[in-house]
Amino acid sequence: MEKLKIGVICYPSLGGSGIVATELGTKMAERGHEIHYITSSKPFRLSESNSNIFFHEVTIDGYAVFKYPPYDIALANRIAQVIVEEKLDLLHVHYAVPHAVSAALAKDMAQSSIGVITTLHGTDVTILGYDPALKNTLSYGINKSTVTTAVSESLRKETMELIKPTNEIVTIYNFIDEERYHTVETGNLRQELGIPHNDKVLIHISNFRKVKRIQDVIKSFEKINTKIESTLILAGEGPEEDEMKKLVDSLGLQDKVIFTGKRDDLPELLSISDLMLHLSEKEAFGLVLLEALACGVTSIATDTGGIPEVIKNGVNGFIVPIGDVNAVVENALNILNNDELRERLSRNGLETAQVKFNSNKIVSEYEKLYYEVAGKR
Ligand code: GMT
């Protein structure tokens, strides 16, 4: 089969959509396709060790006339250049706002008929889609795309109802990078983090945005910790960090809660953990839940968005209502006090990760779509 030249547009910083874009691009490069990232900086988890991977930086000078430098237009300008210079076969845009609009504009600038795939990741629809200042932008970007995909059935349905797009949207789930996510040797990590020998370890990993409801994680932990010796790891960084540190202080939990900041050793952190708490208000998929399952860690997560497509209640974890701290505590004590239950959930979780969200399977779904959109075989 002919190899493809694919332009990938994504947010390069910490966040699930950037991680998916990077891991998918890397897998496609391993399959022999040429991947051209067109982004403001090198994607955070991208290693350029594969000679099929290229990076085209988008730059913009802060000309005095601009109150807001027009990044979206500079991005369109750069995409248009790369379409022509590299003779791209298609564009894959992650996170619709503003990337799908920049891609549509680029296509027009380059006078090209290139196909565009837009992948919806979550808040591009579930938050920005309800913002009157951006809803039309989202509809326009989706309707201008050749094909739109959503990372869960829940996100697909919500987008269909909200936007009523002219084209169907297809669900392609996120996948797990099995080479990176599995139980690993952890050396002295517990000691380095100062976790007492007998403590159970609970973990929450996120980009610390309001939507993650980290206050519920901390309040649940406070109650769990009165019943069972435990430590809570809060990994990641973001806007809620200071507030959450204040909450931990006000509850007198400073010695029991570890803020690690942004870490690269997530498989190691997961491998020392007994339970993940992921209590978001909105979550289109919850990539981190899948990463935990692949490392044998079970989760308690909220009944929202695409989470129930990843976590099956009582099978590979537990689902609780949003904001229901007592339900979290009850399930957590049940899991932490019952090794047999924890092992069963963990075994089932591994199977979920390895079968339903298998990387080869999902990457092949995207590859098939790429060939269709590029009109090549
Ligand atoms: O939509 C966002 O919040 C941003 C995005 C990101 O870049 O982190 O997260 C979304 O995309 C991830 C990858 O597909 C999903 O795993 C997350 O569930 C989703 N976040 C939300 O829906 C809140």
Q: Which of 149, 171, 285 to mutate to test the pocket of ligand 1 (most atoms within 8 A of CB)?
A: 285
Gap between the Cα atoms of 253 and 126, Å rounded:
33
Task: Give 17 Cα–ligand 1 centroid separation in angstroms.
Answer: 6
* Ligand 1 centre distance from Cα of residue 207 (Å): 10
- Residue 15 has a pLDDT of 80
| Cα-based distances in Å from 281 to 18, 198, 287 | 21, 32, 15
Residue-level pLDDT at 61 = 81
Quote the pTM value.
0.95
Residues of the chain with pLDDT under 50: none
Q: Give the integer Cα–Cα distance in Å for 187 and 345.
A: 25
**Cis amide prior to 98 (ω within 30 degrees):** yes
What pLDDT, on the 0 to 100 scale, is given for residue 48? 66
Tell me how far the alpha carbon of residue 130 lies from the centroid of ligand 1, in angstroms. 16
In angstroms, the CA 119 to CA 68 distance is 26
Say what the pLDDT of residue 347 is: 98
Which residues sit with their C-beta closer than 6 Å to ligand 1? Answer: 11, 15-18, 20, 121-124, 126, 151, 174, 211, 282-287, 305
- 36 neighbors 82 (Cβ within 8 angstroms): yes
Q: What is the pLDDT at residue 180? A: 93
What is the phi/psi pair of residue 311, to 5°? -105, 120
The set of residues, in sequence order, having a beta carbon less than 8 Å from that of 170 and lying 6+ positions away, is 147, 148, 149, 150, 156, 369
| Pairwise CA distance, residues 42 & 167, whole Å | 32
Report d(CA 11, CA 19) in Å as an integer: 9
Alpha carbons 344 and 20: distance in angstroms, whole number? 28
Residue 16 CA, closest ligand 1 atom number = 8
CA distance 193 to 198: 14
242-273 tens-digit pLDDT:
999 999 999 999 999 999 999 999 999 999 99
Q: List the residue whose alpha carbon is closest to atom 9 of ligand 1.
A: 16
Report CA(192)–ligand 1 centroid distance (Å): 30
